[in-house]
Amino acid sequence: MFSSFLRRGVSAAFGGIRTKESAAVECLLKTNKQFSTVCKCTASAAHVDLQAVRGYAKHAKTEQKYEDFSSSDSDLEVLGHRGESQFWRRKMRTFHGILDVNKDGVISYDDFQLLADRFVNLGHLSEKHTKEFRKVIKNIWEAQWGEITPYNLVTVEQYLDDMHHVLNDKSRIKKAHAFLPYLFKAVDKDSSGEISVEEFKLFFNSLGLKETDASVAFLSIDGNCDGRISIKEFVNHGRDFFLTEDEERISKYFWGPLVDH
């Protein structure tokens, strides 16, 4: 399906007839060097319908307005009343599912460690960063759920409640996402300081998510279609997922498909 879309798009683009499809293809073709990478990315997501690809492109455009997320707190709901939308709760349920690595319905410190191990075992974190990463993970657990015991189990409802408290507490928001740069470094296989679509697939793999979903997420996050995601983009989008209640923000794709409810 995609190849015919590509042919159609290319002939339209080169024939001077500009359609939404051809614009998307032009974007994909923009950098020759990236051609194979991006096409591979899109081809592997070939089952994704064109509407979706167009939708992602549209969102990517919208998102460029929010390039600097350092001020993103300002467009949040008033402190104390954040995290009350169904959309935000749906996102948090999605993330609870990711953290529940052994899929027994609750998050335990074991799940946390299993997840951290997957990233450490990729072998791209230095010894120093591995130590820091494990410390950050431990601090997050202790700050949010206290004691580390096999009996301290976090249900979906408790997770929603706790994340709601974090979202409404400025000092806790600041510390809650300190793990993100380590995930970036762990999947930046060639230490280039940027994430390619292949490296982004490693990220999704480590989270227990599908590679095809990684391709779609990558296309939407890589707003300028250059086939790379910087650490700033990665951290900002990853963090924005937890902070925003705006359904238009592309950060909603960052941690894979959202659960239905």
Distance, C-alpha 127 to centroid of its chain: 25
Q: How far is CA 81 from CA 57, 114, 165, 190, in A?
A: 32, 33, 10, 42
Rounded least distance, CB 21 to Ca ion, Å: 29
Region binding Ca ion by CB under 5 A among candidate stretches 18-26, 42-50, 95-103, 177-185: 95-103
CA-nearest of 179, 113, 108 to 145 is 108
Nearer to Ca ion, 102 or 126 (CB): 102
Residue 230's DSSP bridge partners are 194
The binding track of 188-217 with respect to Ca ion, each residue x by CB under 5 A or -, is: x-x-x-------------------------
Question: Cβ of residue 212: shortest distance to Ca ion, in angstroms?
Answer: 20
C-beta separation of 118 from 183 below 8 A? no
Closer by beta carbon to Ca ion, 11 or else 192: 192
Interaction mask 172-191, Ca ion, x per CB under 5 A? ----------------x-x-
Nearer to Ca ion, 42 or 196 (CB): 196
Whether residue 100 contacts residue 92, with contact meaning beta carbons closer than 8 Å, is answered with no
AA letter at 243? L
From CA 188, how far away is CA 255, in angstroms rounded? 17
Which of 27, 59, 92, 111 binds Ca ion (CB under 5 A)? It is 111
How many residues contact Ca ion, by CB under 5 A? 7
To Ca ion, the closest distance from the beta carbon of 151 in angstroms equals 13
Phi, psi values for residue 195, rounded to 5°: -105, 125
- DSSP letter, residue 104: S
The residue (of 161 and 190) whose beta carbon lies closer to Ca ion is 190
Name the site residues for Ca ion (rule: CB under 5 A).
100, 102, 104, 111, 188, 190, 192
